[in-house]
């Protein structure tokens, strides 16, 4: 029988081995096995580790840490803030795009599918990788957080610079706990939630995190991230 650990993409299994062997991860596996049998869970089982599949460790140049997947049918595709092709971008993502247009000077994206970013080295990682339909945060504190922290610790140990975008206080707390800001680049802004729209746009206009990220990457010879989207 396929276990949750079996779904982890091969390039990540060795560095995450200790996390996958914990009782906490085994309990998460058991919990999700029941959830998949008794409830609708997003994203689809084969997309749970999409962020890791699209961005293996050697490719990571930046990390955007989200909270949990969108709980609406057809929305979540396993990448933080991203939605499946053809789905209208939710409020948080629209605000993120507004800040991106101001900062990076790109054309406003029409698609909310962030897969191109993931393929360019942006690890779009949610703190919690699954959710029950219609119930935001329903899989919080079920075992995902220690796994996510293990991912962050491994990425933070890689040769840098790697840019960690912290959108909101929860992301900032988790990242600063596991990432040495003297080795990697940690950029903090308000969350792009509709409740924080003005604060987020003002912060991005002032601090220009996407521009600063590329400046640090270019200075280190890693090349800029292409933030454009269809």
Phi, then psi, of 161 in degrees rounded to 5 = -80, 145
Q: Which residues are known catalytic residues?
A: 68
∠ Cα 71 74 80 (to 5°): 60
User: Which 8-state DSSP code applies to residue 49?
Assistant: T
Sheet of 185-189: strand order equals 122-126, 62-66, 163-167, 185-189
The full 3-state SS of 93-159, as one line of letters, equals HHHHHHHHHHHHCCCCCCCCCCHHHHHCCEEEEECCCCEECCECCCCCCCCHHHHHHHHHHHHHHCC
- Residue whose C-alpha is closest to residue 111's, from 87, 92, 90: 87
Residue that the structure tokens 């089982």 belong to: 45
Task: Please check whether residue 55 is in contact with residue 121, taking contact to mean a CB–CB distance below 8 angstroms.
Answer: yes
């Amino acid at each position: 029988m396929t276990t949750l650990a079996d779904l982890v993409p091969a390039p990540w299994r060795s560095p995450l081995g200790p996390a996958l062997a914990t009782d906490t991860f085994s309990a998460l596996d058991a919990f999700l096995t029941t959830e998949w049998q008794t409830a609708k869970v997003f994203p689809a089982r084969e997309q749970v580790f999409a962020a890791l599949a699209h961005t293996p460790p050697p490719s990571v140049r930046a990390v955007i840490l989200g909270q949990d997947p969108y709980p609406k049918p057809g929305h979540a595709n396993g990448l933080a803030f991203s939605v499946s092709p053809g789905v209208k971008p939710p409020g948080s993502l629209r605000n993120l795009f507004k800040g991106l247009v101001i900062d990076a000077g790109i054309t406003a994206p029409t698609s909310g599918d962030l897969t191109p970013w993931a393929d360019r080295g942006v690890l779009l990682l949610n703190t919690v990788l699954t959710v029950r339909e219609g119930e935001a945060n329903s899989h919080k504190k079920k075992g995902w957080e220690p796994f996510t922290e293990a991912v962050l610790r491994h990425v933070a140990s890689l040769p840098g610079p790697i840019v960690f975008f912290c959108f909101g206080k929860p992301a900032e707390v988790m990242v600063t706990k596991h990432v040495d800001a003297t080795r990697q680049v940690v950029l903090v802004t308000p969350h792009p939630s509709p409740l924080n729209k003005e604060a987020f746009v003002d912060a991005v206009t002032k601090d220009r995190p996407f521009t600063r990220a590329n400046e640090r990457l270019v200075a280190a010879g890693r090349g800029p991230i292409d933030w454009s989207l269809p």
